[in-house]
Amino acid sequence: MRILLIDDDPAYRKLIRQHISTAFERAIVVEHVPRVEGRLPAEFNAAGYDAVLLDHAPAGEPGLEWLDDGRGRPLFPPVIYLLARADEDAATAAREHGALAALVKSRIDHRELAARLREAELLQRRALATFRASPAAVKAYRFGDTMIKGLRCIRALAASAISAVYLAESEDEARLVVLKLVRQVPDLTDKLGTFDRFLQEYDIIRQMQHPNVVRIYELGIADDHAFIQMEYFRAGDLRSRMRRGITPAEAIDVLRQMAAALAAIHGAGVLHRDLKPGNVMMRADGTLALIDFGLAKQLSVEAEITATGEIFGTPYYMSPEQGHGREVDARSDIYSLGVILYEMLTGRKPYLAATPMAVIYKHSHSPIPLLPPEFAVWQGLLERMIAKDAADRFQSATELCAAIDAELRRQAPTAAVAASPPGAAVKPP
């Protein structure tokens, strides 16, 4: 049994958990805290849950509005409404709005709660079984030409010659996920190794047990398709965050998290090779994660993959050696991180030109730009990140992390970064 508990009170959530674990030893309770997380995502039907326990005033809002919102979503599970006090009128209103039952929070009867949860579970599983046998399910579970049962397609997010990316809801895991789907499994004559690259991408990320690396949930393989289920980031990417304005303190925090992620992936023998704001995703709790290792490869993999001279990455963020097709290592990712740091602090990219090749030329030949005076304390760090010669950069992401921490300790007495003045957010021109 899987239950979604929507309530702001941590003590009450703990109490409900105790009731549920006593009645159902293997039950999974997922908490949603309205004051922190807001409403459930509009795309989320919660179909993978067997029941929802809903407080009467989530985030101080009328619980009936939340109830109406949920019951209006297809396959939304039965709702047990939690009243503030014994009030027959309120209980009747909850049932009229679609609640399976209305229980008084201060008088939870253990047996009644267990009985209502069992009833909800039975109703929800019947509803899912009926839906999955219906013609509508064929469309709901289809991603392009591929049908994946238990994954409901919400919308396409991106597409390329190699893969397509969708937002989906996993009914088995009761969460939104990003689904990356290979368009076709290449045959033995495939010279580009498209399918091998796709599987390699999964193997690389799967090894990353780090809070700043995207979480991979599942790999699916069949005769004619393969797919990866991965973490969905409701808060968007760093590019969007920068457009809204980012303070110097926030920029350095982002830098530190990205450097920690690089230290982890480099330690596992992996290069990212395509670091840019669009590949840095934000979570609601302020943490971030690196995504899209489609251009990453293990350091030990031989160079045949790129023997054709193919250029990987994005010119604005490419190291000089990467832009000119030379051998790259971890220091190339550090260079890209330095470009992102400059952009976060100034609101503009360090090198601009009319063509991609002209941008690549500037990375190799134009002087390292100066940060505005108010950010001059970070100039030395920046110069060691985006030095033209890789030998002059930080030699590892671990070394970069140590340098960031040392600079933050040095500045701590004056709180030069931690206490940003009002209006310090940098917005791109």
Q: Report the catalytic residues.
A: 274
Contacts 24+ apart (CB under 8 A), 23-30: 23/110, 23/113, 23/114, 23/117, 24/114, 24/117, 26/1, 27/1, 27/2, 27/3, 28/1, 28/2, 28/3, 29/3, 29/5, 30/2, 30/3, 30/4, 30/5, 30/174
Residue labelled with tokens 């039965």? 78
- In whole angstroms, give the CA distance from residue 263 to residue 400: 9
Question: Is residue 177 within a helix (H) or strand (E), and if so which, with residue range?
Answer: strand 175-182
Other Cβ atoms within 10 Å of 183 Cβ, number: 17
- Please report, for the chain, how many H helices and E strands are present, in that order: 14, 16
Rg (the chain; Cα; Å): 25
* Residues 282/288, Cβ–Cβ less than 8 Å: yes
* Residues 133/127, Cβ–Cβ less than 8 Å: no
**Cα 135–Cα 137–Cα 141 angle in degrees, nearest 5:** 140
